[in-house]
Amino acid sequence: MDETDLQLRRRTYAFFVEHGRAPAAAELGDREEVVAGWRRLHDAHALVLTEARDELRMLNPFSVAPTAHRVRAADRWWYGNCAWDAVGICAALRTDGRIETSCPDCGEPLVVEVRDTWPNDESLLFHCLVPAKRWWEDIAFT
């Protein structure tokens, strides 16, 4: 990953955090150059593109599209790709937050307040189904 791609990644994340939405490629510069840079970043696991490889799907830990892991932080609603990422949004923004999700078994709503990096409900459990070496085989499923 060279400096040009790192800068593109920085601008992409900065746009997302500032506007609360993902940029279209043309909002960051020449569309073809931006998409080519995003594809290199995707291949380096620095962001995740849609199947067509021309739009953003994940700016980990953020999801570009709504998910079942909603986060209130820094006066805005965000979506995590999973429960790990939902807490990660508080970490990335370096702020407290409120995570709203549900138990996949019973569907009961689960709310976790993160204060000073600590969750207020320590009785909840996090389950990771996929072993670490296979996380990037299908990152959307992971």
Partner 1 sequence: MNLFRSEEHIARWLGEREPGATISAAKLSELAHAWWHDRISPDWVPHTREQNQAILERLGLTGEFWQLA
Residue from 106, 137, 138, 140 touching partner 1 (CB under 8 A): that is 106
Task: Say if residue 62 is exposed, middle or buried (CB neighbours under 10 Å; 0-12, 13-18, 19+).
Answer: buried
Least distance in Å: CB of 7 to partner 1? 10
Per-residue binding string, partner 1, 108-127, x by CB under 8 A, is x-x-x-x--xxx-xxxxxxx
Total of residues contacting partner 1 (CB under 8 A) = 51
Phi, psi of 74 (to 5 degrees): 50, 45
Closest CA to 92 of 105, 81, 102: 81
End-to-end, the C-alpha distance of the chain in Å comes to 24
Q: How far is CA 123 from CA 74, 111, 126, in A?
A: 26, 12, 10
Range 29-88, binding partner 1 (CB under 8 A): 44-46, 60-61, 82-85, 87-88
* 51/105 with CB nearer partner 1: 105
Least distance in Å: CB of 113 to partner 1? 11
Least distance in Å: CB of 50 to partner 1? 20
| C-alpha 63, offset from chain centre | 4
Judged by DSSP in three states, 33 sits in helix
**Interacting residue ranges for partner 1, rule: CB under 8 A:** 1, 6, 9-10, 13-14, 17, 44-46, 60-61, 82-85, 87-94, 101, 103-106, 108, 110, 112, 114, 117-119, 121-133, 135, 142
